[in-house]
Amino acid sequence: MRLPRVPHLEIVHEDEDLIVINKPAGLLTSTVPHEKRPTAIAILRDRVAKQDPRARVGVIHRLDRDAAGLLVFSKNHDAFRALKEQFLHHSVKRIYMAIVEGTPKPGEGTIKTRLVEHVDGTVHSTRRGDSGEEAITHFKTIRTTSHYSLLRVTLETGKKHQIRVHLSERGHPILNDPLYAKLKPTGELMLCATELHFDHPRTRARMRFTLPLPRAMAAVFREG
């Protein structure tokens, strides 16, 4: 049976336990109560309520508003608990593609710092061992031009703005980042969650979802 389309959301997969979406850039994953701006969770809860009023859609993880890509949501308490546990134990594989300014040297490596959120909502690394939360990011350069590089980024932890902060502090901010890049944005943030692997909460079968490189990101290398 063909699933009805959700406004502004692409449903990648749905079953009785979970929903995987391709979140567009600019859409909030979730936020505080009484938020007037549209959010992915509000759209999905409205959709699911029309199908099954007993279902409860839960937020498992988040993407920054300006980032795009794969997100999984639970549809019942058991699925919520099982998926959250996988994220807690880092058994979920999350891979992003990012276009950054310049060329990282070395071309691959691991960034490990402790991140602290400031009152203005921005995030920065701290050298204080008793402050912040540990964040670990693995990266590998896939392609370069004279101005930009395409990186494959794997998250070991998932903290707010983690990829954006880590790459910016290395001197290679993500292209069009309004918070951590010095250059003025000329388009959408060049960061997309392109792969998501986890175990199904009911069957325990490994599920793997993959997105192609977004057209806006691919165009950077056609033009470069």
Point out the residues that are catalytic. Answer: 64
**HEC sequence for the chain:** CCCCCECCEEEEEECCCEEEEEECCCCECCCCCCCCCCEHHHHHHHHHHHHCCCCCCEECCCCCCCCEEEEEEECCHHHHHHHHHHHHCCCCEEEEEEEEECCCCCCEEEEEEEEEECCCCCEEEECCCCCCEEEEEEEEEEEECCCEEEEEEEECCCCCCHHHHHHHHCCCCECCCCCCCCCCCCCCCCEEEEEEEEECCCCCCEEEEECCCCHHHHHHHHHC
